[in-house]
Amino acid sequence: MTTKLLCTLIPPSEVLAALDADTGELHDDTGDYRPSDLDPEAHDTEESDEDAYRRLTQKAEANAKRRGQLKRPTLADRYVRDPSARAAVIKRCKNRCESPECAGHPTERTTAGLPILQVDHVRDLAKGGPDVPWNMIALCPNCHALKTYGENKEKLRRLLATTARCLHAEKLL
């Protein structure tokens, strides 16, 4: 294994410190689509998908803004994932991979009956990307791997950044 490859496998020290400080609320981007990602506040069965998406987005943006305004955000503040943001993306994606270049979403479900999807930050939180739906995208395992390891990952990341913003805007029309 080359030194260069080793370096890419070791998270920055601040990420390690954040994980050490984790109180159980931290999640990474590679987490599977879990039952807990479903909207925990969806009490109103009359609420449309669009209204729910708008509500979750507003909550996620308010939380992101509040965290950004903290004078000295703790490491956990910087890396904790907002469940509202994830729930909004899951609602938006309608159980499908959102990559326009998806070569095929697995149709098999998890043992819990959920689609096999991963909610990813297009621009990583660790690099200052906001934890809001327009910076997030639901990906199948293949597309997630291409975005993470593919030789064309930068090109794909740019495409996904545009796609996430478009899907977000369409949902709020």
Nearest-approach distance from CB 120 to Zn ion, in angstroms: 11
Instruction: Assess contact for 171 and 92: CB atoms under 8 A.
Output: yes
Cα of first residue to Cα of last residue in the chain, in angstroms, is 50
Nearest-approach distance from CB 100 to Zn ion, in angstroms: 9
- Rounded Cα distance between 117 and 152, Å, is 21
Q: Which is nearer to Zn ion, 75 or 102 (CB)?
A: 102
Q: Which is nearer to Zn ion, 64 or 138 (CB)?
A: 138
Residues that bind Zn ion (CB under 5 A): 97, 99, 102, 140, 143
Q: Which is nearer to Zn ion, 84 or 99 (CB)?
A: 99
Nearest-approach distance from CB 143 to Zn ion, in angstroms: 3
Q: Which is nearer to Zn ion, 12 or 100 (CB)?
A: 100
- Rounded Cα distance between 94 and 103, Å, is 17
Q: What is the DSSP string of 92-117?
A: HHTTS---TT-S----PBPTTS-B--
Nearest-approach distance from CB 158 to Zn ion, in angstroms: 16
